[in-house]
Amino acid sequence: MDFLPAELDQYVAAHTAPEPELLRQISRETHLEVLKPRMLSGHLQGRTLAMLAHMVQPKYILEIGTYTGYSALCLAEGLTSGGQLVTIDVNEELERRVKNYFAQSPYRDQIELRIGNAQEIIPTLSYTWDMVFIDADKQSYSRYFELTLPQVRKGGFIIIDNVLWSGKVFDESKSDKATLSMRAFNQMVHDHPDVENVLLPIRDGLMVLRKL
């Protein structure tokens, strides 16, 4: 996922607002103690998510794919007073860790963690979302999009992570199932009549969609 030269990447990080201390702790402990730490949003992407949330000022945010809670806390920074973020993850082994991190944050009363199958949970939620962040199993991206789009308000946003898939999406020699799925998803949302999109080359790619 290192698309920029190392020196330029360091410059970008140095000229981006620093992580809050709790996020630095989560990043450090995730890399030391949790499998697949590259799944963490990290400094630049995390600050990008926080900035987008501050711009939108959402009342209701849905996150699909919690991991260790880093991105949820970034998004929660932009919640309006009385706003709510619901985050869903299938990994019950991380539940205690994530809840502990959330409890340490100033957004502890605004974040709800749901453990289970997101495709089953999403239809039971009655919120109208201002923002949705999708960062879960890649082959289900199309289904998550189909489930959430009707629940997003007009003018609301859906943000999808990992859409560059380590650069495999534009390499025609790559034809594994995950790459083909991501390539098809990117084309589908790009052509969808109910959203407009911009693909940001941040980290492993963030697709930002606005509902028309």
pLDDT score recorded for residue 4: 80
φ, ψ (nearest 5 deg) of residue 45: -65, -40
CA distance 74 to 82: 17
Among candidate residues 18, 15, 36, 34, the one with its CA nearest the CA of residue 26? 34
What is the distance between the terminal CA atoms of the chain, rounded to a whole angstrom? 31
Amino acid 154: pLDDT:
98
Provide the residue ranges of all domains of the chain, joining segments of one domain with +.
Answer: 6-211
Predicted confidence at residue 3, as pLDDT, reads 75
pTM of the model: 0.96
> What does the CA dihedral 186, 189, 195, 196 come to, rounded to 10 degrees?
30
- Residue ranges of the chain whose pLDDT lies below 70: 1-2
* pLDDT for 130: 98
Cβ-defined contacts of 99-104 (< 8 Å, 24+): 101/22, 101/25, 101/26, 101/68, 101/69, 101/73, 102/69, 102/72, 102/73, 104/22
- Residues composing the chain: 212
Among the four given CATH numbers 3.20.20.105, 3.40.50.150, 3.40.920.10, 3.40.718.10, the one describing domain 6-211: 3.40.50.150
Longest dimension (CA), the chain: 49
